[in-house]
Amino acid sequence: MVRRALIAGNWKMHMTTGQAKALAARVGEAAKQATDRDVLVAPPFTAIPAVAGALAGSEVIIAGQNVCWEEQGAYTGEISPVMLKDLGATAAIVGHSERRQIFGENDDLINRRVTGALGFGLTVVLCVGETLEERESGQTLAVLETQVQGGLEQVSGEDLARIVVAYEPVWAIGTGKTATTEQAQEAHAFIRRLIGKRYEKGLADQMRILYGGSVKPANIDELMAQPDIDGALVGGAALDAESFGRIINFK
């Protein structure tokens, strides 16, 4: 099955409103050339309205970098799915390794975010991945199974169509290290088999699985040549319009 590629840029805690607007405009121009693939950007919450304005009329998807599961309430520091949609976002990243590693989010909390976002009509990019210690001790596949199963708890086969999984080995994020194409392909194929066992092969074949972890212009073509890699979740390189434009227009 040919799956439509998705190139996603996670801007993390970077960009003032003005900077974000300027970058979004350039991303929109680069995306015009890529008619056979999807492009997503996840600016800081504060910049989403400016980015939405800069990308008005384009096909670029706008995502929040996280999302709460409730519409409103006493959740200081959180942002609800309704608020994200009001700002102009239609998707949300959930379970990013930095949320897991720095802020201590576990699979139960991540699952609440996943189901909450789905319940309000958002598309979810569910991130999973192992630490260096877990990889070196041979736990990679066990960790992926726990995180995938935990993240998809109570998610129906129908809702699965609005989930994208991003495999991001923690040891490769922002370090300059990248999983080899063989390591990345092995993890992606394993995740697809897990989805097939939990749901059915047809749904697994349709699911887009992205690779994240020091993706850059120099390695995007080789990564995208792998049969189970359907796109990329890009960090640092997404902050540079020229670099991200090259990644969007991979060959």
**Amino acid letter, residue 131:** T
Cα–Cα distance, 68 to 76 (Å, whole number): 11
Q: State the catalytic residue, choosing from 14, 96, 134, 182.
A: 96
For the record, the structure tokens of 194 come out as 């897990």
For the record, the structure tokens of 85 come out as 């949609």
* 168 belongs to the catalytic site: yes
Give the count of beta carbons closer than 10 Å to the beta carbon of residue 52. Answer: 18
Q: For residue 8, which of 131, 143, 167 has the smallest C-alpha distance? A: 167
Cα–Cα distance, 129 to 189 (Å, whole number): 14
Cα–Cα distance, 178 to 155 (Å, whole number): 31
* 96 belongs to the catalytic site: yes
Cα–Cα distance, 47 to 31 (Å, whole number): 19
Residues 212 and 127: beta-carbon distance below 8 Å: yes
Cα–Cα distance, 123 to 118 (Å, whole number): 7
For the record, the structure tokens of 54 come out as 């800069």
Q: State the catalytic residue, choosing from 130, 134, 168, 188.
A: 168
Q: Which residues are catalytic?
A: 96, 168
